[in-house]
Structure 1
Amino acid sequence: MSRKVLAVLAVIILVVIVLFATGFWSINQTREGELPDVDVSAEGGQLPGFDADSKEVVVGTTETEVEVPKVETETTTVDVPVIGVKDSGE
């Protein structure tokens, strides 16, 4: 929608709201409404039947040899940065 159409629609809605809010327009109910009487009769249905064949899924493990890299670690002493707070009185 173009902006002009949206602007016109917004102005119309605003005018209608103002007319109702100021009491220039009012709506009064003149008679009660009621739902229609409905008679329903139905017979039971039947779901469709299916015969499905499927394969069996088998999950398991098997042993095999795989090359895996060997990682070794050693402990070394290094200097690391330290952050602290010093009190002005010390």
Structure 2
Amino acid sequence: MKTPLLTTLLAGSLAFATVGCDVDQTQPGEMPDVDVDMEPGTMPEFDVETADVDVSMEKQPVDVPTDIDIETEEQMIETPDVDIDLPDED
């Protein structure tokens, strides 16, 4: 029962991780000069600002099974409450 919830939370986290970032290239890449005195190239540099994610727990009513006949009753349980502050477009 917890596996689908965990899978959904992980998939949602991955989606936010990929779209909740502001990536600015701070230095272009450069191929190395190829000759006898080979000079090393440089890797591009990036300035990455990720989203500010706040996760808290709050009680929500959820129907839970009470017996094998799958009769449910409402109980208060803690569920995640997620706030995301995306970086500015500077």
What TM-score results when the alignment is normalised by the length of structure 2? 0.28
Q: With the length of structure 1 as denominator, give the TM-score of the two structures.
A: 0.28
Structure that is richer in strand per residue: 2
Structure with the larger RCO, 1 or 2 (CA within 8 Å, 6+ apart): 2
| Structure of greater Rg | 1
